[in-house]
Structure 1
Amino acid sequence: MAANKPLLRVLNGEALSTTPVWLMRQAGRYLTEYKQTRLKARSFLDLCYNPKLAAEVTLQPIRRFHFDAAIIFSDILVVPDAFGQKVDFESGEGPRLQPIIGADDLKALRETIDLDHLSPVFEAIQLVKQALPAKTALIGFCGAPWTVASYMIAGRGTPDQAPARLFAYRNPDIFAALIERLIEGSVVYLSRQIEAGADCIQIFDSWAGALAPAEFERWALDPVRRIIAALRIRHPRTKIIAFPRGAGLALAGYAAQTGTDALGLDTSVDPASAAAVIPSNVVLQGNLDPLALIAGGEPLGEAVAKIQAGFRGRPHIFNLGHGILPETPLDNVEALLALLRPEA
């Protein structure tokens, strides 16, 4: 199977002459067809839980751009939703959750994740798997415990996740219990995604960079290490990509200690510097600035050339350093693919 899918070949350690490419948030608001499909669901969460619509949205960027991977359309906050926390998405304002402010709020949640509640995600994976071209990999995902917990504590996204950081300092035992629950839930959730047909998985730690060094090791690095170790036992052949956005100088240690197969790099990371310090057995993914993709033209070409030069000779998956932005011109995505696939 891996022999037919460029992304899986790279995850298995091959450095290909044509770098496989997919983009974070590639199924989303920059696509006209996504906007039309979105109107068919009452809310964003309803869209995530409608297997046919979620599968359709997942496949839209593959049909248009022929990326080397599809990532199942869902959201990291389906996990707290499946633990019984109230989760809503307000148009124009992002997610809203009933915040955890103390031990009683944690006790009110389920002890274990409700996989039946998440069955639409697994069904969507099965539908996408059946429809994907033979060379296109399917990525499953979850949010890392720290990032998911930060939303559960604050009840929303915040600029620096200060509510969760402060909660962890003041209530370390309660926060540790929440992280423990999320570790266990993430393992079984990702495992079911793999069983449903995901070829590989990505763990998004979008707020890893908000933590001080000691807290980073405790709340970001170690939980992901434990998830990866548990998945290795259950699914030893499945490759794992970890994306600790903002980890900076901690990236090399994070890669070595978590045991991840691949490391997603954010926009702030210099490709050549990362390639020099991150263990050579770790595949690197990234890391075009989403604004360079919006700009297009010469800035896009220069940014792509620098990334290609920095990772040359090393197994590499081309991606953005963060999610694609809604105002991204479709022509610029086409231009990016022409740069990456000059012989296509």
Structure 2
Amino acid sequence: MSTKQQDSLFIKAAFSQPTERPPVWMMRQAGRFMKEYWDIKNRYSFLEMCKTPEIAADVTMLPVDLLGIDAAILFSDILVTAEAMGGDLSFTQGVGPRFSNPVRTSDDVDRLETGVVRKLQYVADAIKIVQQRLDGKIPLIGFAGSPFTVMSYLVEGGSSKDFKLTKLMLHNEPELAHRLLAKIAEVTTGYLNLQIEAGVDALQIFDSWASALAWDDYKEFSHTYISKIIAGLNRQDIPIISFCKGSSVFAPLMAEAKPDVISVDWNADLLNVKKSLPAGIAVQGNLDPHILYADKKVIKDRIVKLHERMKGENGFIFNLGHGIMPDLPFDNVKYAIDVIKNELT
């Protein structure tokens, strides 16, 4: 991390240091709710955007320039690791990600490569360009998908509502599942260290589908591997954020992996989660993103209410409980950020 960022609101809050107001950024802040995103997206495929450093940097900078957030997050996708390992990945409008060669047998798992971090150099190149453009103004967050979440896409062959095939593998062939997860975890650790080397100021691990799992399965098939990844990071001065859908339930386990920040979904009372965690672990969240569809008076009331609840607590990063939806009105998102930056003391 650059020494310039040690005094940023975001880094201080991530390390549970006092801040004059909570810093704010939002998951999926550089996305489809912006006209400017579509101006770029209509010219390139999604994977082209991810794999072309200049374009990835352009998209990363949109919320910096248009929203005035306190931290940028690199524009990329959680599935680039799976593609580098040998997944035949495509994105279709209205369908989402697809793998034409799903991973369901022992041979399929054997076929996946692990010495692939060099294939992800385009991400490191994008980080360097973004950092030049940010010029120390705000921190840059890098990220990766958790092994369980990436595994679910590989096994299902894409998005899933019930994760039936993934859960069948966990329950009927746990050794095969562990082999697959271990391979993904190895690549993910190398990939996040590549991002640190390229110059990110913080990292977030996205376990987007953890809420599909029972407690014991989460512990065995997700938490175990996130713990290994965090233990394998060159994390000096780099705060690590752990996010999962289901964090309102899994937060006590998530804390055992020793992240600096736990990002909390909107189902929980944020202060109760904070007080249940070991000292020195910050929380991020946890406004329901659907609030941003509401009238501005409602948006402001909910933001103020959450802030009042967290008042006096060090280690609070204002965010949503999940990502911005594509059809949210841009003006409402901008208004929410302005309220947080200008009206919370």
Whole-Å separation in 1 of the counterparts to 2:290 and 2:7:
32
> In the alignment, does 2:23 pair up with 1:24?
no
- The superposition leaves residues 73-117 of structure 1 with CA deviations (integer Å, 9 ceiling, x where unpaired) of 00000011000111111111000012112111111221x141232
1:208 to 202, 207, 210: 210
Identify which range, 134-143 or 327-336, moves more after superposition. Answer: 327-336
Q: How far did residue 133 of structure 1 move? A: 4.6
Whole-Å separation in 1 of the counterparts to 2:134 and 2:181:
35
2:293 matched residue in structure 1: 294
Correspondence 1:5-16 to 2 at 5 A: 5-16=8-19
- The superposition leaves residues 235-277 of structure 1 with CA deviations (integer Å, 9 ceiling, x where unpaired) of 322110000211333312321x110100001121212221221
2:150 matched residue in structure 1: 148
State the one-letter code of the partner of 1:94.
Answer: G
**Kept in 2: contact 1:6–1:135 (CA 8 A):** no
Q: State the secondary structure of the residue aligned to 1:141.
A: strand
Correspondence 1:1-344 to 2 at 5 A: 1=3, 2-41=5-44, 43-97=45-99, 98-110=101-113, 112-231=114-233, 234-255=234-255, 257-314=256-313, 315-342=315-342
**Kept in 2: contact 1:272–1:309 (CA 8 A):** no
Q: How far did residue 19 of structure 1 move? A: 1.0
**Kept in 2: contact 1:243–1:265 (CA 8 A):** yes
Whole-Å separation in 2 of the counterparts to 1:259 and 1:54:
30
TM-score with structure 2 setting the length: 0.95
- The superposition leaves residues 208-240 of structure 1 with CA deviations (integer Å, 9 ceiling, x where unpaired) of 111111111011111111111111xx3322110
State the one-letter code of the partner of 2:319.
Answer: N
Whole-Å separation in 1 of the counterparts to 2:310 and 2:286:
10
**Kept in 2: contact 1:4–1:135 (CA 8 A):** no
Q: State the secondary structure of the residue aligned to 2:285.
A: strand
Q: State the secondary structure of the residue aligned to 2:142.
A: strand
Whole-Å separation in 1 of the counterparts to 2:12 and 2:137:
11
Structure 2 unaligned segments of length 5 or more: list them: none
Q: State the secondary structure of the residue aligned to 2:144.
A: strand
* C-alpha RMSD of the superposition: 1.5
Identity value in percent:
36
State the one-letter code of the partner of 1:266.
Answer: D
Q: 1:296–1:125: structure 2 CA closer, same or farther, 3 Å change rule?
A: farther
**Kept in 2: contact 1:5–1:134 (CA 8 A):** no
Q: State the secondary structure of the residue aligned to 1:204.
A: strand
State the one-letter code of the partner of 1:139.
Answer: I
Whole-Å separation in 2 of the counterparts to 1:124 and 1:313:
37
Runs of 4 or more consecutive aligned structure 1 residues displaced over 3 Å after TM superposition: none
**Kept in 2: contact 1:209–1:248 (CA 8 A):** no
- The superposition leaves residues 257-306 of structure 1 with CA deviations (integer Å, 9 ceiling, x where unpaired) of 11010000112121222122122311100011111012142321222122
Q: 1:19–1:36: structure 2 CA closer, same or farther, 3 Å change rule?
A: same
Whole-Å separation in 2 of the counterparts to 1:21 and 1:92:
29
Whole-Å separation in 2 of the counterparts to 1:139 and 1:223:
21
Whole-Å separation in 1 of the counterparts to 2:153 and 2:92:
14
- The superposition leaves residues 174-210 of structure 1 with CA deviations (integer Å, 9 ceiling, x where unpaired) of 1100110111111100000011110010000011111
Whole-Å separation in 2 of the counterparts to 1:326 and 1:113:
35
Q: How far did residue 119 of structure 1 move? A: 1.2
Larger RCO, structures 1/2 (Cα 8 Å, 6+ apart): 2
Q: State the secondary structure of the residue aligned to 1:235.
A: coil
State the one-letter code of the partner of 2:281.
Answer: V
Aligned residues: 339
**Kept in 2: contact 1:27–1:60 (CA 8 A):** yes
Whole-Å separation in 1 of the counterparts to 2:152 and 2:219:
16
Whole-Å separation in 1 of the counterparts to 2:339 and 2:194:
36
**Kept in 1: contact 2:25–2:71 (CA 8 A):** yes
Identify which range, 188-197 or 303-312, moves more after superposition. Answer: 303-312
